[in-house]
Amino acid sequence: MNKLKTVYAKDVLLEDVEKISNLIENQRHLCVACPAFEEVIDTQLFGFSKKIEFAVRMDMIDEEEGQLMLSDLEKHLSDVYDHAIDQVQQTDGLD
């Protein structure tokens, strides 16, 4: 695959990472344990993982790079959950 297509594929995937990250950030004030929020995020992560898989199979990115993108996104989600749980616990402690 030529270098330009590889760069373009990475840019498209990174744009998706940014969109999903923004979705997570914009919804962090809502009930993070809400099943609807969890379902949306799970769906976004699943779709993104399939895009990564496709890009790897088409030899647009290497598998390690794709897994790193997915891992970074999952870590961001985990950080949001941890922060939200900490805030709930602090709020409960104030009552």
pLDDT digits (tens, 9 = 90+) for 42-86: 899 999 999 999 999 999 999 999 999 999 999 988 888 788 777
Tens-digit pLDDT profile for residues 12-29: 999 999 999 888 877 766
Q: Global pTM?
A: 0.78
Q: How far apart are CA 7 and CA 55, in angstroms?
A: 11
Q: What is the pLDDT of residue 32?
A: 61
Q: How far apart are CA 21 and CA 93, in angstroms?
A: 29
Pick from 46, 57, 52, 42: which is nearest to 14 by CA? 52
Domains located in the chain, CATH noted: 3-94 (1.10.287.750)
What token pair was written down for 78? 């985990």
Contact indicator for 16, 45 with CB cutoff of 8 Å = no
pLDDT(1) > 60: no
What token pair was written down for 3? 């270098």
Q: What is the pLDDT of residue 19?
A: 92
